[in-house]
Amino acid sequence: MSEQSLEPLPGSLHAQWVRCGKNWCRCSEAGPLHGPYYYHFYREAGKQRKKYVPKGQVQQVRSAIELWGALYPPISSFRASLRDINQLYKTLTRRTDMKDEDPEIEDVNEGLAPYFEAEARRLARGGKSSEE
């Protein structure tokens, strides 16, 4: 699998150390376990699955999982961005409300609507800019 044909891969990659189950092995008692062995964890039809990843393919699988994360960011990052925008909006409108008390504060509400609309559209696209 080359870098150019890398397919996005959902899930996560984990290293695990295992006990082999042979009575005479060093791992059977309190000895060190075998590993690390790498597994790709993912969901299929609502159930968690795990698939062994050979050592030679670990970096490719890791890159494919990172590519998935870049293409499909978690909803929590979207919520965090919306929370930041909301906080900024509240701060700016508070300053606008104070304009009557302090004439030096300029009207920041003018021109903000296009910014917030553009930012909401960007976030709806998963945080990607329109140039991408």
Q: What is the pTM of this model?
A: 0.56
Least confidently predicted of 17-26, 44-53, 81-90, 114-123: 114-123
Share of the chain above pLDDT 90, in %: 40
With a CB cutoff of 8 Å and minimum separation 6, the contacts of 116 are: 85, 89
- Position 6 pLDDT exceeds 90: no
Q: So what's the pLDDT on residue 86?
A: 84
Peptide bond into 36 cis (omega under 30): yes
- Position 105 pLDDT exceeds 80: no
* Mean of pLDDT over the chain: 80
- Position 132 pLDDT exceeds 50: no
The DSSP secondary structure of the chain, one letter per residue, reads --STTPPP--SEEEEEEE----TTSTTTTTSPPEEEEEEEEEEETTEEEEEEE-GGGHHHHHHHHHHHHHHS--HHHHHHHHHHHHHHHHHHHHHHHGGGT-TTS---STTHHHHHHHHHHHHHTTS--TT-
